[in-house]
A and B are shown apart, each in its own frame.
Chain A
């Protein structure tokens, strides 16, 4: 019998070693993030990680706690990517577990604020590889699809794509981008079955793109349903791309330090 369901988040991430490369899903709101998998990764204490994630612009829980104290009346944490009941990849950045980040957002939305990532880069503790969302998503898609590299117009003659091979194709200057494979993909989906088939109830963003683009794909889901409940036509990511499935608890976490 195929059964990809793992009983705890700590068990699901237990074999991620220091120095691993990881795709981490996540975009905007709490429903986009594999928050429990990120928290469990933080608890393992592993470091020297290379993380590719669309949005690495959040502040970590420690900075957030300080901000809440400083916040004047009327200010709202919406848009800062950290609500008290969930975490983002900023947790791993703030704790110094990340050696390199490959991302499209490294700075906070409000120009005057500093993200955990920006502070780490300034201190020379983390390296930044900045790219655009079209390039990042296609590099990850290509890795899953077995395409080693591709040419794309984005980045030609700009500093952020400097050093890439440039070639003119049908009159358009294009840069050569390579597939981005990882050791682990941590993704968030709405529901799964025991075979690892995944569906979403809102845009899947990088979560669907990253599933299968790693040696080991781990999905964090709101629901696990009996096999056969997911209709074939509604399955966005087939279980073939997924190795492990973990169910989120019904009560939200209050601290990333709590074991799940």
Chain B
């Protein structure tokens, strides 16, 4: 099999869509790489669930007692224009439709755009975090994840078998082998990692995939 993309490269692919003034919420795990990629001229406001809007880059060595953190518990720098709000107001912002992009991790996504990311198989408890409101109410809901699980199982499936966080909410899926969009209950490949063919992608995907009309090799240019 050809090489897979690194999380840094996937983060750069996701970040191409962010435009001036967009509000972006990043889920825990791989989506946090989107705050690590080099800054651009685009003025994006990053939102974190506990009521933090417009935070700065991740701090490499936070001083003891540093309080400014993301929901993923990474210490971040303050930024001019940054604002704080209570948790209920933070979700008024989410539910009210002010978030332009949410980038979430997933255990499974299916061809209907259903999202399962709160309970691992074999466990009787789980963690929803802020995902239900973010997934349903952000203008664009992106999933960023590895294409297959640690055991090699497909994570993109025809119908999710894991419990659903939210229904019919995922627009696009960014994995280490492809960029896909969900359209009319189909998974369309927009971009593929260098060297990958649609047949190879289908081989590790449990939902039928089809090439988008403008399918191309993923590029950061």
Contact = CB atoms under 8 A, between A and B. Distances in A.
A236 B83 CA distance: 13
Interface string B82-110: 00111110110011000000000000000
Nearest to B51: A203
A132 B128 contact: yes
B167 to A, nearest CB: 5
Interface residues of B, number: 41
B79 to A, nearest CB: 14
A203 B94 CA distance: 16
Nearest to A142: B88
A133 B87 contact: yes
B88 A137 contact: yes
B181 interface: no
A137 B87 contact: yes
A253 interface: no
Given A32-B50, A134-B91, A158 B132 contact: yes
Query: B interface, by DSSP: helix, strand, loop or mixed?
Result: loop
Given A153-B137, A203-B52, A205-B51, A133 B67 contact: no
Interface stretch (B5-13, B116-124, B186-194, B206-214): B116-124
Interface string A115-148: 1011001100000101111110110110000000
Interface residues of A, number: 50
B60 to A, nearest CB: 13
Given A79-B73, A138-B91, A158-B165, A106 B126 contact: yes
**5 nearest CB pairs, A to B:** A134-B133, A132-B132, A208-B86, A205-B50, A134-B91
B158 interface: no
B147 to A, nearest CB: 18
Contacts of A104: 127-130
Nearest to B169: A153
B84 A152 contact: no
B85 A203 contact: yes
B164 interface: yes
A133 B91 contact: yes
Contacts of B88: 137-138, 140-141, 209
